Amino acid sequence: MKNKVTVVGSGNWGSVAAKLIASNTVRLSSFDDEVRMWVFEEKLPSGEKLTDVINRTNENVKYLPGIKLGKNVVADPDVESAVKGANMLVFVSPHQFMEGICKKLVGKIGKDTEGISLVKGMEVKKEGPCMISTLISKTLGINCSVLMGANIANEIALEKFSEATVGYSKNKEAAEKWVQLFGTPYFIVSAVQDVEGVEMCGTLKNIVAIAAGFVDGMEMGNNTKAAIMRIGLKEMIKFSKMLFPSVKDSTFFESCGVADLITTCLGGRNRKVADAYAKNQGKRSFDQLEAELLNGQKLQGVLTAKEVYEVLSDRGWVEQFPLFSTVHAISIGRLPPSAIVELGDSRSANKQVGNSTL
Ligand SMILES: NC(=O)C1=CN([C@@H]2O[C@H](COP(=O)(O)OP(=O)(O)OC[C@H]3O[C@@H](n4cnc5c(N)ncnc54)[C@H](O)[C@@H]3O)[C@@H](O)[C@H]2O)C=CC1
Ligand SMILES: O=C(CO)COP(=O)(O)O
Protein backbone atom coordinates (compact mmCIF):
# COMPACT_ATOMS: atom_id res chain seq x y z
CA MET A 1 0.00 0.00 0.00
CA LYS A 2 1.34 3.40 -0.97
CA ASN A 3 1.36 6.23 1.55
CA LYS A 4 -1.24 8.88 0.82
CA VAL A 5 -0.71 12.45 1.97
CA THR A 6 -3.15 15.28 2.70
CA VAL A 7 -2.11 18.79 3.64
CA VAL A 8 -4.65 20.33 6.02
CA GLY A 9 -4.24 24.03 5.32
CA SER A 10 -3.39 26.17 2.30
CA GLY A 11 -2.06 29.53 3.47
CA ASN A 12 1.40 30.82 2.61
CA TRP A 13 3.35 28.00 4.29
CA GLY A 14 0.64 25.41 3.68
CA SER A 15 0.91 25.99 -0.06
CA VAL A 16 4.70 25.77 -0.02
CA ALA A 17 4.51 22.58 2.08
CA ALA A 18 2.16 21.08 -0.54
CA LYS A 19 4.62 22.04 -3.28
CA LEU A 20 7.58 20.48 -1.46
CA ILE A 21 5.66 17.28 -0.73
CA ALA A 22 4.22 17.02 -4.24
CA SER A 23 7.72 17.24 -5.74
CA ASN A 24 8.64 14.18 -3.67
CA THR A 25 5.52 12.02 -4.01
CA VAL A 26 5.98 11.89 -7.81
CA ARG A 27 9.62 10.87 -7.30
CA LEU A 28 9.28 8.30 -4.49
CA SER A 29 7.56 5.01 -5.28
CA SER A 30 6.32 4.47 -1.71
CA PHE A 31 3.97 7.49 -2.00
CA ASP A 32 0.82 7.98 -4.01
CA ASP A 33 1.48 10.83 -6.47
CA GLU A 34 -1.63 12.81 -5.62
CA VAL A 35 -1.43 15.28 -2.70
CA ARG A 36 -4.74 16.64 -1.47
CA MET A 37 -4.76 20.11 0.05
CA TRP A 38 -7.66 21.30 2.18
CA VAL A 39 -8.62 24.90 1.40
CA PHE A 40 -10.62 27.14 3.74
CA GLU A 41 -12.91 28.28 0.95
CA GLU A 42 -13.23 31.93 0.08
CA LYS A 43 -14.42 34.01 -2.85
CA LEU A 44 -11.83 36.04 -4.72
CA PRO A 45 -12.54 39.61 -5.93
CA SER A 46 -13.19 38.06 -9.40
CA GLY A 47 -16.15 36.17 -7.85
CA GLU A 48 -14.43 32.80 -8.38
CA LYS A 49 -13.83 30.35 -5.56
CA LEU A 50 -10.22 30.04 -4.42
CA THR A 51 -10.34 26.23 -4.70
CA ASP A 52 -11.52 26.38 -8.33
CA VAL A 53 -8.76 28.82 -9.23
CA ILE A 54 -6.08 26.66 -7.54
CA ASN A 55 -7.28 23.58 -9.43
CA ARG A 56 -7.50 25.47 -12.76
CA THR A 57 -4.19 27.35 -12.55
CA ASN A 58 -2.18 25.11 -10.20
CA GLU A 59 -1.42 28.23 -8.20
CA ASN A 60 -2.68 29.59 -4.87
CA VAL A 61 -3.24 33.04 -6.30
CA LYS A 62 -4.11 34.55 -2.92
CA TYR A 63 -1.57 33.09 -0.50
CA LEU A 64 1.32 32.13 -2.80
CA PRO A 65 0.92 33.99 -6.09
CA GLY A 66 3.29 33.27 -8.95
CA ILE A 67 4.32 29.76 -7.83
CA LYS A 68 3.14 26.51 -9.44
CA LEU A 69 2.31 23.91 -6.81
CA GLY A 70 2.73 20.82 -9.00
CA LYS A 71 0.01 19.24 -11.12
CA ASN A 72 -0.45 16.46 -8.55
CA VAL A 73 -1.74 18.90 -5.90
CA VAL A 74 -5.54 18.80 -5.74
CA ALA A 75 -7.36 21.45 -3.71
CA ASP A 76 -10.48 20.39 -1.82
CA PRO A 77 -12.74 22.75 0.20
CA ASP A 78 -14.26 19.89 2.23
CA VAL A 79 -11.91 18.88 5.02
CA GLU A 80 -13.56 15.49 5.54
CA SER A 81 -13.26 14.50 1.91
CA ALA A 82 -9.72 15.94 1.75
CA VAL A 83 -8.45 13.56 4.46
CA LYS A 84 -10.36 10.50 3.21
CA GLY A 85 -7.99 7.62 2.49
CA ALA A 86 -4.90 9.53 3.64
CA ASN A 87 -2.54 7.86 6.12
CA MET A 88 -0.21 10.87 6.43
CA LEU A 89 -1.72 14.19 7.53
CA VAL A 90 0.22 17.45 7.45
CA PHE A 91 -1.40 20.13 9.63
CA VAL A 92 -0.49 23.68 8.67
CA SER A 93 -3.03 26.31 9.67
CA PRO A 94 -2.80 29.39 11.88
CA HIS A 95 -2.93 27.93 15.39
CA GLN A 96 -6.15 29.69 16.42
CA PHE A 97 -8.13 27.57 13.92
CA MET A 98 -6.67 24.19 14.84
CA GLU A 99 -9.16 23.24 17.54
CA GLY A 100 -12.10 23.77 15.16
CA ILE A 101 -10.37 21.84 12.38
CA CYS A 102 -9.57 18.90 14.68
CA LYS A 103 -13.15 18.75 15.96
CA LYS A 104 -14.41 18.38 12.38
CA LEU A 105 -12.08 15.42 11.85
CA VAL A 106 -13.04 13.36 14.91
CA GLY A 107 -13.97 9.85 13.77
CA LYS A 108 -12.90 10.56 10.16
CA ILE A 109 -9.27 9.45 10.47
CA GLY A 110 -7.93 5.91 9.97
CA LYS A 111 -6.35 4.36 13.06
CA ASP A 112 -2.86 3.95 11.59
CA THR A 113 -2.68 7.54 10.40
CA GLU A 114 0.43 9.57 11.26
CA GLY A 115 0.23 13.32 11.74
CA ILE A 116 2.77 16.12 11.60
CA SER A 117 2.17 19.69 12.75
CA LEU A 118 3.84 22.64 11.01
CA VAL A 119 1.74 24.97 13.18
CA LYS A 120 3.63 27.47 15.32
CA GLY A 121 1.53 28.30 18.37
CA MET A 122 -0.15 26.88 21.45
CA GLU A 123 -3.56 26.73 23.10
CA VAL A 124 -4.17 27.67 26.70
CA LYS A 125 -6.97 25.77 28.36
CA LYS A 126 -8.37 25.78 31.88
CA GLU A 127 -6.21 22.74 32.64
CA GLY A 128 -3.11 24.58 31.38
CA PRO A 129 -1.12 25.00 28.17
CA CYS A 130 -1.61 22.55 25.33
CA MET A 131 0.78 22.28 22.40
CA ILE A 132 -0.86 21.93 18.98
CA SER A 133 0.70 18.49 18.36
CA THR A 134 -0.89 17.36 21.65
CA LEU A 135 -4.23 18.85 20.64
CA ILE A 136 -4.04 16.88 17.37
CA SER A 137 -2.97 13.60 18.93
CA LYS A 138 -5.48 13.82 21.80
CA THR A 139 -8.45 14.90 19.66
CA LEU A 140 -7.80 12.51 16.79
CA GLY A 141 -6.08 9.66 18.60
CA ILE A 142 -3.04 9.65 16.31
CA ASN A 143 0.70 10.01 16.78
CA CYS A 144 1.83 13.53 15.85
CA SER A 145 5.35 14.76 15.10
CA VAL A 146 6.25 18.39 14.35
CA LEU A 147 8.30 20.17 11.69
CA MET A 148 9.68 23.63 12.51
CA GLY A 149 12.62 25.64 11.24
CA ALA A 150 14.00 28.81 9.71
CA ASN A 151 11.44 28.62 6.97
CA ILE A 152 10.07 31.86 5.58
CA ALA A 153 7.69 30.30 3.09
CA ASN A 154 8.19 32.71 0.19
CA GLU A 155 11.93 31.94 0.13
CA ILE A 156 11.39 28.17 0.11
CA ALA A 157 8.82 28.62 -2.66
CA LEU A 158 11.69 30.04 -4.75
CA GLU A 159 13.78 26.99 -3.84
CA LYS A 160 16.38 28.93 -1.88
CA PHE A 161 18.45 26.74 0.46
CA SER A 162 17.15 26.25 4.00
CA GLU A 163 16.93 23.69 6.79
CA ALA A 164 14.19 22.34 9.03
CA THR A 165 13.85 20.14 12.09
CA VAL A 166 11.42 17.29 12.64
CA GLY A 167 10.67 16.68 16.32
CA TYR A 168 9.33 13.30 17.37
CA SER A 169 8.64 11.56 20.66
CA LYS A 170 8.72 7.78 20.22
CA ASN A 171 8.11 6.82 16.62
CA LYS A 172 11.48 7.22 14.91
CA GLU A 173 10.28 5.31 11.84
CA ALA A 174 7.49 7.84 11.29
CA ALA A 175 9.97 10.71 11.73
CA GLU A 176 12.20 9.19 9.05
CA LYS A 177 9.24 8.97 6.69
CA TRP A 178 8.51 12.68 7.25
CA VAL A 179 12.16 13.55 6.61
CA GLN A 180 11.93 11.64 3.32
CA LEU A 181 8.64 13.29 2.37
CA PHE A 182 9.80 16.88 2.98
CA GLY A 183 13.51 16.78 2.18
CA THR A 184 14.89 18.14 -1.10
CA PRO A 185 18.39 19.30 -2.09
CA TYR A 186 17.36 22.84 -1.14
CA PHE A 187 15.32 21.88 1.96
CA ILE A 188 17.44 19.85 4.36
CA VAL A 189 15.46 18.16 7.10
CA SER A 190 16.85 16.40 10.17
CA ALA A 191 15.02 14.70 13.02
CA VAL A 192 15.51 15.06 16.77
CA GLN A 193 13.80 13.17 19.56
CA ASP A 194 12.37 16.21 21.35
CA VAL A 195 8.91 17.03 20.11
CA GLU A 196 8.23 19.54 22.91
CA GLY A 197 11.54 21.35 22.44
CA VAL A 198 11.08 21.73 18.68
CA GLU A 199 7.47 22.90 19.01
CA MET A 200 8.24 25.34 21.84
CA CYS A 201 10.98 26.92 19.70
CA GLY A 202 8.59 27.48 16.77
CA THR A 203 5.92 28.84 19.08
CA LEU A 204 7.95 31.19 21.26
CA LYS A 205 10.16 32.78 18.61
CA ASN A 206 7.07 34.58 17.29
CA ILE A 207 6.89 36.61 20.54
CA VAL A 208 10.54 37.61 20.19
CA ALA A 209 9.89 38.59 16.55
CA ILE A 210 7.21 41.02 17.74
CA ALA A 211 9.79 42.57 20.08
CA ALA A 212 12.30 42.79 17.21
CA GLY A 213 9.66 44.55 15.11
CA PHE A 214 9.15 47.17 17.85
CA VAL A 215 12.90 47.81 17.86
CA ASP A 216 12.92 48.19 14.07
CA GLY A 217 9.88 50.48 14.11
CA MET A 218 11.63 52.75 16.60
CA GLU A 219 14.86 52.61 14.52
CA MET A 220 16.93 51.52 17.48
CA GLY A 221 19.53 49.72 15.40
CA ASN A 222 21.23 46.36 15.20
CA ASN A 223 22.81 46.18 18.64
CA THR A 224 19.46 46.69 20.33
CA LYS A 225 17.83 44.11 18.10
CA ALA A 226 20.59 41.60 18.85
CA ALA A 227 20.12 42.26 22.58
CA ILE A 228 16.39 41.64 22.30
CA MET A 229 17.04 38.40 20.38
CA ARG A 230 19.51 37.23 23.03
CA ILE A 231 17.16 37.99 25.91
CA GLY A 232 14.33 36.39 23.94
CA LEU A 233 16.32 33.22 23.35
CA LYS A 234 17.07 32.94 27.07
CA GLU A 235 13.38 33.30 27.90
CA MET A 236 12.51 30.73 25.21
CA ILE A 237 14.88 28.20 26.75
CA LYS A 238 13.81 28.91 30.31
CA PHE A 239 10.06 28.81 29.59
CA SER A 240 10.36 25.62 27.49
CA LYS A 241 12.25 23.84 30.26
CA MET A 242 9.96 25.05 33.02
CA LEU A 243 6.96 23.66 31.11
CA PHE A 244 8.69 20.53 29.80
CA PRO A 245 11.77 19.51 31.83
CA SER A 246 12.67 16.93 29.14
CA VAL A 247 13.47 19.66 26.56
CA LYS A 248 17.07 19.34 25.37
CA ASP A 249 19.59 22.21 25.16
CA SER A 250 20.83 20.89 21.82
CA THR A 251 17.40 21.50 20.22
CA PHE A 252 17.93 25.27 20.47
CA PHE A 253 20.93 24.92 18.13
CA GLU A 254 18.91 23.15 15.43
CA SER A 255 17.16 25.01 12.61
CA CYS A 256 13.99 25.18 14.73
CA GLY A 257 15.85 27.12 17.44
CA VAL A 258 18.32 29.90 16.95
CA ALA A 259 18.05 29.84 13.12
CA ASP A 260 14.28 30.31 13.11
CA LEU A 261 14.59 33.03 15.74
CA ILE A 262 17.05 34.91 13.50
CA THR A 263 15.12 34.61 10.25
CA THR A 264 11.80 35.58 11.84
CA CYS A 265 13.33 38.60 13.57
CA LEU A 266 14.89 39.67 10.26
CA GLY A 267 12.21 38.96 7.70
CA GLY A 268 8.97 37.55 9.09
CA ARG A 269 5.39 38.80 9.16
CA ASN A 270 5.35 39.20 12.95
CA ARG A 271 8.35 41.52 12.69
CA LYS A 272 6.78 43.46 9.84
CA VAL A 273 3.47 44.16 11.58
CA ALA A 274 5.13 45.01 14.91
CA ASP A 275 7.42 47.44 13.05
CA ALA A 276 4.31 49.17 11.64
CA TYR A 277 2.68 49.15 15.09
CA ALA A 278 5.67 50.95 16.62
CA LYS A 279 5.89 53.42 13.71
CA ASN A 280 2.22 54.27 14.32
CA GLN A 281 2.98 54.54 18.05
CA GLY A 282 0.27 52.03 18.81
CA LYS A 283 -2.47 54.20 17.28
CA ARG A 284 -3.54 51.41 14.93
CA SER A 285 -4.28 48.03 16.45
CA PHE A 286 -2.51 44.83 15.49
CA ASP A 287 -5.77 43.54 13.99
CA GLN A 288 -6.04 46.59 11.72
CA LEU A 289 -2.41 46.38 10.64
CA GLU A 290 -2.60 42.63 10.05
CA ALA A 291 -5.58 43.15 7.74
CA GLU A 292 -3.88 46.07 5.92
CA LEU A 293 -0.46 44.51 5.49
CA LEU A 294 -0.94 40.75 5.16
CA ASN A 295 -3.82 40.22 2.69
CA GLY A 296 -5.50 37.47 4.71
CA GLN A 297 -2.33 35.93 6.15
CA LYS A 298 -2.30 35.67 9.94
CA LEU A 299 0.08 36.71 12.71
CA GLN A 300 0.79 34.26 15.50
CA GLY A 301 2.99 36.30 17.84
CA VAL A 302 0.43 38.61 19.47
CA LEU A 303 -1.93 35.80 20.33
CA THR A 304 0.96 33.62 21.51
CA ALA A 305 2.20 36.42 23.79
CA LYS A 306 -1.28 36.56 25.33
CA GLU A 307 -1.44 32.79 25.74
CA VAL A 308 2.03 32.63 27.27
CA TYR A 309 1.17 35.54 29.57
CA GLU A 310 -1.84 33.56 30.85
CA VAL A 311 0.49 30.70 31.75
CA LEU A 312 2.99 33.08 33.37
CA SER A 313 0.38 34.79 35.54
CA ASP A 314 -1.36 31.54 36.40
CA ARG A 315 1.91 30.07 37.67
CA GLY A 316 3.38 33.21 39.25
CA TRP A 317 6.21 33.37 36.72
CA VAL A 318 5.62 36.88 35.26
CA GLU A 319 8.64 38.48 36.96
CA GLN A 320 10.94 35.86 35.48
CA PHE A 321 9.95 36.66 31.88
CA PRO A 322 10.19 40.43 31.38
CA LEU A 323 10.47 40.25 27.59
CA PHE A 324 7.49 37.95 27.02
CA SER A 325 5.40 39.94 29.53
CA THR A 326 6.36 43.30 28.05
CA VAL A 327 5.56 42.20 24.49
CA HIS A 328 2.09 41.27 25.68
CA ALA A 329 1.65 44.55 27.57
CA ILE A 330 2.73 46.58 24.51
CA SER A 331 0.62 44.62 22.06
CA ILE A 332 -2.58 45.24 24.05
CA GLY A 333 -1.73 48.95 24.39
CA ARG A 334 -0.93 48.90 28.11
CA LEU A 335 2.67 49.98 27.57
CA PRO A 336 4.19 52.04 24.72
CA PRO A 337 6.51 50.29 22.21
CA SER A 338 9.51 52.05 23.80
CA ALA A 339 8.99 49.89 26.92
CA ILE A 340 10.66 47.03 25.05
CA VAL A 341 14.06 48.47 25.99
CA GLU A 342 13.19 49.08 29.61
CA LEU A 343 13.76 45.38 30.27
CA GLY A 344 17.23 46.15 31.64
CA ASP A 345 15.54 48.13 34.38
CA SER A 346 13.84 45.02 35.62
CA ARG A 347 12.22 46.90 38.49
CA SER A 348 10.24 49.17 36.18
CA ALA A 349 9.44 46.61 33.45
CA ASN A 350 8.43 43.89 35.82
CA LYS A 351 6.55 46.19 38.11
CA GLN A 352 4.43 47.72 35.40
CA VAL A 353 3.55 44.40 33.87
CA GLY A 354 3.44 42.38 37.03
CA ASN A 355 1.13 44.75 38.87
CA SER A 356 -1.29 45.30 36.03
CA THR A 357 -4.45 43.33 35.42
CA LEU A 358 -3.54 42.25 31.90
N1 LIG B 1 4.26 31.65 6.23
C2 LIG B 1 5.42 31.26 6.73
O3 LIG B 1 6.48 31.74 6.28
C4 LIG B 1 5.48 30.23 7.79
C5 LIG B 1 4.38 29.91 8.57
N6 LIG B 1 4.48 28.96 9.54
C7 LIG B 1 3.33 28.60 10.38
O8 LIG B 1 2.40 27.87 9.60
C9 LIG B 1 1.09 28.04 10.14
C10 LIG B 1 0.17 28.38 8.98
O11 LIG B 1 0.56 29.58 8.39
P12 LIG B 1 0.41 29.92 6.84
O13 LIG B 1 0.30 28.70 6.02
O14 LIG B 1 1.52 30.86 6.53
O15 LIG B 1 -1.03 30.64 6.80
P16 LIG B 1 -1.36 32.15 6.37
O17 LIG B 1 -1.22 33.03 7.54
O18 LIG B 1 -0.61 32.51 5.13
O19 LIG B 1 -2.86 32.08 5.90
C20 LIG B 1 -3.98 32.06 6.72
C21 LIG B 1 -4.78 30.81 6.38
O22 LIG B 1 -5.85 30.69 7.30
C23 LIG B 1 -7.02 30.35 6.59
N24 LIG B 1 -8.17 30.74 7.37
C25 LIG B 1 -8.73 31.98 7.53
N26 LIG B 1 -9.80 31.91 8.34
C27 LIG B 1 -9.92 30.62 8.72
C28 LIG B 1 -10.82 29.91 9.56
N29 LIG B 1 -11.81 30.54 10.20
N30 LIG B 1 -10.64 28.59 9.73
C31 LIG B 1 -9.63 27.93 9.13
N32 LIG B 1 -8.74 28.53 8.30
C33 LIG B 1 -8.89 29.86 8.11
C34 LIG B 1 -6.87 31.10 5.28
O35 LIG B 1 -7.72 30.55 4.31
C36 LIG B 1 -5.41 30.84 4.98
O37 LIG B 1 -5.23 29.59 4.38
C38 LIG B 1 1.21 29.12 11.22
O39 LIG B 1 1.25 28.52 12.48
C40 LIG B 1 2.55 29.79 10.92
O41 LIG B 1 3.16 30.31 12.09
C42 LIG B 1 5.63 28.27 9.75
C43 LIG B 1 6.73 28.51 8.99
C44 LIG B 1 6.74 29.52 7.97
O1 LIG C 1 7.87 30.92 11.04
C2 LIG C 1 8.32 31.63 10.14
C3 LIG C 1 9.66 31.44 9.59
O4 LIG C 1 10.24 30.23 10.02
C5 LIG C 1 7.51 32.75 9.61
O6 LIG C 1 7.38 33.73 10.58
P7 LIG C 1 6.28 34.85 10.42
O8 LIG C 1 4.95 34.21 10.70
O9 LIG C 1 6.65 35.92 11.37
O10 LIG C 1 6.36 35.31 8.96
Domain check: are 139 and 14 in the same one?
yes
Give the model confidence (pLDDT) of 8-18 as tens digits. 999 999 999 99
Does the active-site annotation cover 205?
Answer: yes
Residues with CB under 6 A from ligand 1: 9-14, 40, 63, 92-95, 97, 118-121, 151-153, 296-298, 300
Q: Find out whether the beta carbon of 120 lies less than 6 Å from any atom of ligand 2.
A: yes
Number of domains in the chain: 2
**Burial of 252 (C-beta count, 10 Å sphere; 0-12/13-18/19+):** buried
- Could you tell me if 25 and 33 are in contact, meaning their C-beta atoms sit under 8 angstroms apart? yes
Q: Give the pLDDT confidence of 255-314 residue by residue, as tens digits.
A: 999 999 999 999 999 999 999 999 998 889 999 999 999 999 999 999 999 999 999 999
Q: Are residues 159 and 204 in the same domain?
A: no
Q: Which ligand 2 atom minimizes the distance to the CA of 149?
A: 4
207 and 185: one domain? no
> 209 and 343: one domain?
yes
Q: Does 294 lie in the same domain as 325?
A: yes
Q: Find the helix packing angle between 301-315 and 322-331, rounded to 10°.
A: 120
Q: What is the pLDDT of residue 128?
A: 83
The pTM of the full predicted model, rounded to 2 decimals, is 0.96
Does ligand 2 have an atom closer than 6 angstroms to the CB of 152?
Answer: yes
Query: From CA 48, how far away is CA 64, in angstroms rounded?
Result: 17
Residue span of the structural domain in which 307 resides: 197-355
Are 141 and 223 within one domain? Answer: no
Residue ending a domain, among 193, 222, 237, is 193
Q: Of 168, 193, 218, which closes a domain? A: 193
Closest Cα to atom 41 of ligand 1? 120
Beta carbons of 119 and 164 less than 8 angstroms apart: no
Task: Find the angle CA(186)-CA(192)-CA(196) to the nearest 5 degrees.
Answer: 115
Distance, CA 347 to ligand 2 centroid (Å)?
Answer: 32
Would you put residue 6 in left (φ > 0), alpha (ψ -120 to 50) or beta? beta
Of 298, 300, 303, best ligand 1 pocket probe by most atoms within 8 Å of the beta carbon: 298
Q: How much distance in Å is there from the Cα of 43 to the middle of ligand 1?
A: 17
Atom of ligand 1 minimally distant from the CA of 17: 13
ipTM, interface predicted TM-score of the complex:
0.99
pLDDT tens-digit profile of 106-121?
A: 999 988 999 999 999 9
Cα maximum dimension of the chain: 62
Q: Do 222 and 180 share a structural domain?
A: no
Report the alpha-carbon distance of residue 292 to residue 203 in Å, rounded.
24
C-alpha 127/C-alpha 165 separation (Å) is: 29
Answer yes or no: do 171 and 215 share one domain: no
